[in-house]
Chain A
Amino acid sequence: MNRVVCLPRILAALALLWCCLGRRGTAETPAIVEPTADQAGPSSTAFVLTGLSTPDRGAGVDDSVVRTFRDRNGGLFEGWPKPQAVVVVTGELDGYIEPCGCTGKENQKGGLSRRRNFLRALTAANWPLVTVDLGGQVKRFGRQSEIKFQSIADGLRTMGYAAVGFGPGDLRLPAEELVAAVAPVGDQPTPFVSVNVGLLGLDANITPRFRIVEAGGLRFGIVSVLGDAEAKQLRNDAIEIVPAAQGLEAAAAELKKANCTHQILLSWASPEETKSLAARFPQFDIVATAGGADEPPAELPTLPGGARLVELGHKGMYAVAIAFFADAQKPLRSQRVPLDARWGEAEDMITLLATYQSQLESLGLTGLGLTAVRHPSGRRFAGSVSCADCHQHAFDVWKDTPHATALATLEEQTPRRDGDPECLSCHVVGWAPQRYEPFEGGFAGMKATPHLAHQGCENCHGPAAAHAAVERGDVRASVTERDRLRSELAMSIDTPEGKQKAVNNCLECHDLDNSPQFDFDTYWPQVEHPTPEAEADKAK
């Protein structure tokens, strides 16, 4: 009797449970790509859509941020059922380990931290995940790029990448540094693969030629290749590169035997060269290419052989997710994922960035191999305070502008950026902004050159040490010489040539990366500092 009594009670309980689950199914399922607090893990930003999280960096993302960026950059995975597996393709980071910019990081896309949280969100949603990267972690040369490459490689390992290719910027680094960065760590194999690039020679087998991974019952074969045109531009004796087709030939034959359900080609080549390789090796159904436009297309184009072509955009601002479904009508869907502020910050990647910054700081400018170069004018710098002796009005205007506290903005960040030459170059006096190197007599640190901190007068007018010395009477000069020194520093935007010169100078720092909204005519009134005489002349 008791069993009979219990049965309806169990049914009632099941009915209640079903109702609750049904409710969850309709209301919560679409949130699969946005991790909830309990899914995100201890070192991740909590993503909740009920407005309970803190909209602070690294502390949480609230409804309004998600709404803002959904409206700005589009919704994600709308109407998607759970896939069998999803392949996330990234690449062309170009050294942008984090987004930079004077206009606020929230207005920019990209960075390893957001990428980390995006991948975590997919994992938290129980989407079987395979993550691959085309390569191109760095673009510049030198010790800073070597350290950056190592940091990024560490980050990719932490994120569980299955395969990572090499871009030409990576392969310009010394092979010794590359080997140290990509070598296996403990039991964890290297994620770096290439069919035609061999660090210290292909037969050194430092990186495997391809990788096979399984996810969601699917089997993926992944290869990476460097295109022939890019290979021709490289000069690195300690790296062996064979023609792309030759490398692919051998790997493709082995992959064919491996019974993969999908084969992925990561091709660092122009889209034209990639398409040619895809046509020659039609076994690859997903083909990622370099050299596309600034941002990837919303839909994956289909190549003549049926492969889907993946472009990634530049500077790691996007990831592309390709999901596979057991659905004959729609077996594949893709989503271009902007890595914007809605992904928040991941603590482990922030720690990685802090370590990177601390390495730069401990090496210092000399340790980073930065040697001061001669300014094109051959002159040296005096510091903005020297200018105030005579140009008090201009100095008073300047000291109330953000230019006068430019270095402080780097010191106040977490982690601090004032040891990073790529940041310093636009926040101090006497550096080449786009080459990230100091001029002779330019800022060399707060201890040695505190008078050259911040974005000062001489970055626009030119080095003024000789002019200041003559005007102070420290150095004797003829009237002609004195006037020449004065005229060399004078600027005017009253002529088209003069204005263009001023605009070009501003654009050295206010570039599309750091100041995308920069407009000279809007910004100039905020820093304008005509001499009282010039103002009087204008008034007449």
Chain B
Amino acid sequence: MRLPNAWVAAGVAAFLGATFGGGIAMLEAASRPWRAGDFVPGSVRPSGPSPAIDAPETQFNFGNVGAGGTGSHEFIIHNTGDAPLELTRGVTSCSCTVADFEETEEGSTSVKLVPPGGSTKLNVKWKGKGGGGPFRQQASVSTNDPRRPQIAFVVEGMVVPTYKALPQSISLPKLSAGTANQATVRVFTFGMEPPTITSLTLDEEKTAQFYSLTSTPIETAELAAETGATGGFQITVDIRPGLPVGPLRQIIKAVFRMPEEITVDIPVHGTVSGDLALVGQAWDSSREMLMLGTVSSRSGSQTNLFLTAKGPHRADVKPVVRNVVPDSLEVVVGEGKPVGSGNVIRIPLSITILPGSAPANHMCSPQAPAGQIVLDTGLPDSPALTIPVCITITP
């Protein structure tokens, strides 16, 4: 008697569970807002009359557009359904893009009602920004077609600039004060006429004496490097040794006609620094200290750094360890190797705190002044390099 009751109870429970659970799911789904991804687009099969949007083209390529020029394209939208199609203009991805429907009788260009079998046009206008390069923007439209509640119309193309400077600025990181330097900038133009330079000047008078500027036309064969370029000139900047150590800032002003007058500012920025620099994760360049932190004498630790050398005497840099505080630091200088074109020599430094080192406190405070590593460099102008070290060695 009890056995069948248990199976019946199981069946009833399963039935109730399915009904109750399913019911809750339906209620919850109906009561919460719809969200993207709830349905696979296209899987909705509405019953009764329904609009159906058909946009044979959703992407248009303007091709080349001049900087500041405009382009427009009309996208056709059909209603192939059997109920009116309501279209609402959404946002565009850039204020440089404007989308309008054909004006309604009420004067609206943002909302459109398309009868079954009817069509309308969405006009997308785009204004070319300066600078040049490819562009892609979109205008979205909301619809009452349940299978496609939103549709995006994309315009794309290429803005052809009036001119293009390559590079746009000259960056000279860690320039050696004692070395002459040279940099070039090529200005390509895209007009009907080749450019004629009228002036080439420097903005910052204080350091102008260290620079000299020359310009030469870019040869026709070289113009091919920049698609669409019709002319151009190259500016060569020669920088004499002796710039003061610190931030370097200058602006080259090139004025040219093609035939309208155009002024191009080419910033020159960088830093003029000494010929030796330390590089590595533990080197704090802002504080100019080697931060080794707290090291247990039981485990010890090891840190790798590089010393870089540039300038006319870079090949002479052969560091030798003269003094170390605390003396438990073991400093090994590796072999110098040229980097890339050879203007910089890289010298590895390995700093080891051996297990069993004596406790020490050099945490760079008044009570615990910094330790140091002193290297004889081999450079005539700065024969010694002192590296402050912040370290605590605990027992």
A, B: real partners = yes
Chain A residues in the interface with B (C-beta under 8 A): 1, 4-5, 7-9, 11-13, 15-16, 18-20, 22-23, 26-27, 30-31, 33, 49-51, 63, 66-67, 70-72, 74-80, 141-142, 172-177, 179-180, 183-185, 198, 200-201, 203-204, 229, 233-241, 271, 291-298, 363, 367, 369-371, 373-374, 435, 437, 512, 516-518
CA distance A494 to B165 in the complex (A): 34
Which one, A19, A176, A271, contacts B21 given CB within 8 A?
Answer: A19
In the complex, what's the smallest C-beta–C-beta distance from B95 to chain A, in angstroms?
5
Residues A295 and B138 in contact, CB atoms below 8 Å apart: yes
> Which B residues are CB-close (under 8 A) to A292?
134, 136
Query: What are 24 of the A-B contact pairs (CB < 8 Å)?
Result: A8-B7, A11-B14, A12-B17, A22-B22, A23-B21, A30-B36, A49-B32, A49-B35, A79-B39, A175-B173, A180-B280, A198-B339, A204-B339, A235-B171, A235-B172, A236-B173, A237-B174, A237-B343, A238-B344, A240-B340, A369-B246, A374-B204, A435-B267, A512-B129
> Which B residues are CB-close (under 8 A) to A27?
25, 28-29
Residues B279 and A71 in contact, CB atoms below 8 Å apart: no
CA distance A51 to B279 in the complex (A): 51
Q: A176 and B152 in contact (CB under 8 A), knowing A31-B35, A293-B134, A293-B135?
A: no
Residues B18 and A19 in contact, CB atoms below 8 Å apart: yes
B94: interface (CB < 8 Å) = yes
Which one, A50, A200, A271, contacts B346 given CB within 8 A?
Answer: A200
Binds A, one of B69-77, B270-278, B379-387: B270-278
> Which A residues are CB-close (under 8 A) to B247?
142, 369-371
Closest to A516 in B: B95
> Which B residues are CB-close (under 8 A) to A201?
337-340, 346
Which one, A71, A79, A204, A373, contacts B150 given CB within 8 A?
Answer: A71
Residues B22 and A30 in contact, CB atoms below 8 Å apart: no
Residues B340 and A185 in contact, CB atoms below 8 Å apart: no
Which one, A12, A75, A174, contacts B174 given CB within 8 A?
Answer: A174
In the complex, what's the smallest C-beta–C-beta distance from A269 to chain B, in angstroms?
14
Residues B32 and A50 in contact, CB atoms below 8 Å apart: yes
Interface string of B40-80 (1 = CB under 8 A from A): 11010000000000000000000000000000000000000
> Which B residues are CB-close (under 8 A) to A12?
9-10, 12-14, 17
Residues A79 and B41 in contact, CB atoms below 8 Å apart: yes
Residues A238 and B339 in contact, CB atoms below 8 Å apart: yes
Closest to B31 in A: A50
B260: interface (CB < 8 Å) = no
Residues A373 and B22 in contact, CB atoms below 8 Å apart: no
B211: interface (CB < 8 Å) = no
Closest to B304 in A: A183
Residues A26 and B29 in contact, CB atoms below 8 Å apart: yes
Q: 5 closest pairs, A vs B, by CB? A: A75-B36, A19-B21, A8-B10, A12-B13, A30-B37
> Which A residues are CB-close (under 8 A) to B210?
none
B86: interface (CB < 8 Å) = no
Residues B10 and A16 in contact, CB atoms below 8 Å apart: no
Mostly helix, strand, loop or mixed at chain B's interface? Answer: mixed
Q: A204 and B32 in contact (CB under 8 A), knowing A8-B10, A237-B344?
A: no
In the complex, what's the smallest C-beta–C-beta distance from A277 to chain B, in angstroms?
18
CA distance A271 to B156 in the complex (A): 15
A198, A236, A292 — most chain B CB neighbours (10 Å):
A236
Q: A141 and B40 in contact (CB under 8 A), knowing A11-B10, A22-B25, A72-B140?
A: no
Closest to B13 in A: A12
B133: interface (CB < 8 Å) = yes
Residues A293 and B10 in contact, CB atoms below 8 Å apart: no
B170: interface (CB < 8 Å) = yes
Which one, A141, A175, A298, contacts B154 given CB within 8 A?
Answer: A298
CA distance A174 to B33 in the complex (A): 52
> Which A residues are CB-close (under 8 A) to B310?
237-238
Residues A71 and B142 in contact, CB atoms below 8 Å apart: yes
> Which B residues are CB-close (under 8 A) to A516?
94-95
B89: interface (CB < 8 Å) = no
Closest to B305 in A: A179
CA distance A184 to B17 in the complex (A): 55
A22, A79, A512 — most chain B CB neighbours (10 Å):
A79
B167: interface (CB < 8 Å) = yes
